[in-house]
Amino acid sequence: MNSKEVNSSIIKQEAKRLGFDFCGISKAEFLEEEAPRLEAWLNSNKHGKMEYMENHFDKRLNPTLLVDDAKSVVSLLYNYYPSQTQNTEAPKISKYAYGKDYHEVIKEKLNEFLHTLKEKIGDVNGRAFVDSAPILDKAWAKKSGLGWIGKNANLINKQQGSFFFIAELIIDLELAYDGPIKDYCGTCTRCIDACPTEAIVEPFVVDGSKCISYLTIELKDAIPNEFKDKMDNWAFGCDVCQDVCPWNRFSTPHNETQFINQTGLLNWNANEWHELTEETFQMIFRKSALKRTKYKGLKRNLEFIKPIR
């Protein structure tokens, strides 16, 4: 093996040691295929009030603007599919939010990853990303062969479906690069048919301003009344398009103890959610991804989905 292959092998072994389920490597270069798609999506206002999506357009498409002398993008998948389930009568939260905030869990692993690469390979410089910068993580994961982009705009892995966090290392080291795989969605339209708010406006295009995840997390204003009977009891995020995807029959429960819920909230009934006080919110969700909505946002969501009696 040449040095690129040796170093790539070291990186993939280290990814496995740290608990990442899949690792793929691609060349750090301008994403030509994604540029017109992103521009069209923004121009048609499918990002709703996520104004930050309009910022750093060039950086989203070019990793060399994020890391000096970037040569490679290492894409990583970390499973979050839970063995636990929520009380079926309760307002629903996305599976990724059951345990500790994934940003904290994965960022710690990525920092260790970079440190180990310096020890094992030498002078490797770069940055670690997990939802923390203007980077098209699904595009890079696709480019490195970790899956394909499904009709619901999620990355789907042939072995284990789509319940993964995606993270990256952008580094100044040339490596042996992986290539993309084919699309295996075929003629299936289950995600499109099942979306409660019809946010998947055409295959592979999601109108973010209609997506329940956007409405319950990103949107800071009042939820528009047009969605009053379409929220499917979701209080934080939405998993519908993933739950109905046939490829997720291959999902297996994660092994990350920090993603296991320790607060008992999965057993809460509807009344316990609706009677949640700010004091309890601060205590229960201080290390959770749910803190993104803040107490005021979560209460807004709960009131909006509350059945009229």
**Active centre residues (catalytic):** 131
What whole-number distance in Å separates Cα of residue 258 and Cα of residue 266? 15
Strands 92-93 and 234-236: parallel
Q: Which residues of 136-175 are buried (b: 16+ CB within 10 A; e: fewer)?
A: bbbbbbbbbbbbbbbbbbbbbbeebbbbbbbbbbbbbbeb
What whole-number distance in Å separates Cα of residue 50 and Cα of residue 221? 12
Q: Residue 42 in contact with residue 53, Cβ under 8 Å? A: yes
The torsion of the CA quartet 17, 21, 24, 30, rounded to 10 degrees, works out to -110
DSSP characters over 80-141: ---S----TTSPEE-GGGSSS-HHHHHHHHHHHHHHHHHHHTSS--EEEESS-SS--HHHHH
What whole-number distance in Å separates Cα of residue 257 and Cα of residue 20? 14
| Other CB atoms within 10 A of residue 229 CB | 11
Two structure tokens written together for 42: 């923004």
